[in-house]
Amino acid sequence: MDLFRLAAPFYDGLMKVAGHQKTIKKAVEQVRIKPDDVICDIGAGTGQLSRLLPAENKLILVDSSDRMLKKARKKVANQAKIVISRAQNLSLEDNSCDLVFCIDALHHFERTGSALAEMKRIVRNNGAIVILEFDPANLKTRIMQWLEELAGEPGCFYSPDKLAAFFKKFGCNTEIVKLSSWQYVLLASDDLTERRSIDGF
């Protein structure tokens, strides 16, 4: 079953009920965004994140689902380049972005390790990677995992420490911010002092 092909028409409505924008906003507030940053959203879906980013930044929205991206296109007009690509084999140049976001998407990817290596490959020095994920130690995450696996999704959830270990292997500094009992944000950068935001952008 192609879950997001089926879900695309209903996705934004469901996310409204779930309060998804509030959660993403908390993730965006963790990182310092500069006006000339090129921002890439991997697993961008219908472009929920794009609504929360400054209008002057160049955006690249990447997703494997053309149906989800069709919805995104309506939100971003000319601000964004839309790329249909798999996260584990991105059709983007090395060092082509300053910020990489991956919001509620990593656990949907097959070969997560390759997807993380791709994020590191496309991000420039002094840039940052921001991942919003769900902690498998929490019961709500395990129920979500079970439901997603029933729908044929990989359901590959990493604990914050395990995810941080990948980026440490890549030579990045990392920080984990707990957003709720089950949601967390991982920030990875070679210069966290430059990219960490205390008050939001």
Ligand X SMILES: C[S@@+](CC[C@H](N)C(=O)[O-])C[C@H]1O[C@@H](n2cnc3c(N)ncnc32)[C@H](O)[C@@H]1O
Can you give the binding site for ligand X, defined by CB under 6 A? 4, 15, 43-45, 48, 63-65, 68, 86-88, 103-105, 108-110
Q: Which is nearer to ligand X, 37 or 104 (CB)?
A: 104
| Residue 114 C-beta: closest distance to ligand X, Å | 10
CB nearer to ligand X: give 85 or 173: 85
42 or 172: CB nearest ligand X: 42
| Least Å from the CB of residue 41 to ligand X | 7
Closer residue to ligand X, CB minimum distance, 151 or 168: 151
Helices 160-169 & 112-122, crossing angle to 10 degrees? 50
**Nearest distance in Å: CB 191, ligand X:** 25
Using the structure block, give the residue that is written with the tokens 């990392």.
Answer: 174
* Nearest in space to 47 (alpha carbons), one of 33, 26, 65, 32: 65
Q: Which residue is nearest to ligand X (CB)?
A: 45
CB 82 within 8 A of CB 61: yes
**Which residue, among 72, 54, 76, has the nearest Cα to 63 in the 3D structure?**
72
**Residue 147, burial from CB neighbour count under 10 angstroms (0-12, 13-18, 19+):** exposed
Residue 17 vs 198, nearer CB to ligand X: 17
Cβ contacts of residue 169 below 8 Å, gap of 6+?
none
Shortest CB 90 distance to ligand X, Å: 9
> Minimum distance between the CB of residue 115 and ligand X, rounded to whole angstroms?
7
How far is C-alpha 148 from the geometric centre of its chain's CA atoms?
A: 18
Between residues 91 and 193, which has the closer beta carbon with respect to ligand X? 91
How is the chain split among helix, strand and coil, in percent rounded to 5?
40, 25, 35
Q: Give the shortest CB-125-to-ligand X separation in angstroms.
A: 25
